[in-house]
Amino acid sequence: MRPLHIIACVKVVPKPEEVKVNSETMTIERGDVRSEINPPDMNVLEMALTLKEQHGGKVTVVAMGPPLFAPYLRLALAMGADEAYLLSDRAFAAADTLATSYALAQGIRKIGDYDLILCGEESSDGATAQVPPGIAEWLNASQITYAEDLEVLPDSGMVKAKRELAGGYEVIQVPLPCTASVKVGANEPRFMDMERKAWAEAEGPVTIWAAEDIDVDPEMIGLPGSPTIVDGLAQAEATERKREFLAGTPQEQAKALVERLQAYL
């Protein structure tokens, strides 16, 4: 089997504590918040780099978003990825999961032959888990969801995965090329290689493609290609836990606590 070409799809998301939603457009605002690589996508990068070390080949990183996402792709290069592509065009804005998966699939088509596409199980800002299966469908590729571990079997051209299920797990094999979504916490992401950091920041190969560069149908990207309609927004009510403070000396407090716990024993 030839060396692997692994494509790692990543998303840059707002830090959870700083997520803001525009009440008029009903979209997430990204301008004034700090961002990070989506946590499951860090597990994707680690898995891709580990497989590269085992089988040879290269890791290509793909993302979609504004130009300010480029430094985050350079972080992936500093970790060990070989090249990165950023799909960046105002025409991609306000895309739902259908339009996002279509645009990413078209970008992957332009990159060329691949063996394995890895995505995080879901994004922390959207949490739909729909993009990885969507990419697989657009590319007519085998797919695995919620993978905790992946093993490439070179002699058979297959990939074996341990996949999480409710109450257990299953082990399955599918043929390459394959798309897989990776569970958050599936591994421990490595730190960046400080020897690569300067190279990644100065001349790391981050290619930026606009919509016209990847042969997309304008009616299938961005807002025109997004059938999802946000009908309204509501603030979830916070629930307060019941609590009671015990007065008295430490001995009196201990006695009162025992009395209250006896009702549950």
Summarize pLDDT for 58-88 with one digit per residue, the tens: 999 999 999 999 999 999 999 999 999 999 9
How high is the pLDDT of residue 243? 81
- Nearest-Å Rg of the Cα atoms of the chain is 22
Q: pLDDT grade, residue 16 (50/70/90)? A: confident
Ordered by start, the domain boundaries in the chain are: 4-220
Q: Check residue 30 and give its pLDDT.
A: 67
Write down the pLDDT at residue 245.
87
Least confident among 29-38, 86-95, 130-139, 218-227: 29-38
Which whole-number Å values give the CA distances from 194 to 76, 171, 203, in the listed order?
12, 37, 15
Question: H or E stretch including 97?
Answer: helix 97-111
Task: Place 125 in a pLDDT band, splitting at 50, 70 and 90.
Answer: confident
CA-to-CA distance for 12 and 177, rounded, in angstroms?
A: 25
The per-residue pLDDT for 146 is: 94
Please check the confidence at residue 124 and state whether its pLDDT lies above 90. Answer: no
Q: Is the dihedral of CA 140, 1, 75, 216 positive or negative?
A: negative
Give the per-residue pLDDT at 203: 87
| Residue 137: φ, ψ to 5° | -70, -45
Mean pLDDT computed over 7-28: 80
Q: Is the pLDDT of residue 108 over 90?
A: yes
| pTM for this entry | 0.85
Range 245-259 average pLDDT: 91
φ, ψ of residue 218 in degrees (nearest 5): -55, -25
At the second CATH level, the architecture of 4-220 is 3-Layer(aba) Sandwich (3.40)
Confidence class of residue 26 from pLDDT cuts 50, 70 and 90?
low
One-letter amino acid at 153 equals L
Per-range mean pLDDT, top range of 101-105, 151-155, 246-250: 101-105
Handedness of CA 221, 45, 205, 153 (dihedral sign): negative
Q: How far apart are CA 133 and CA 140, in angstroms?
A: 10
Q: Is the pLDDT of residue 179 over 80?
A: yes
Q: What is the pLDDT of residue 31?
A: 67
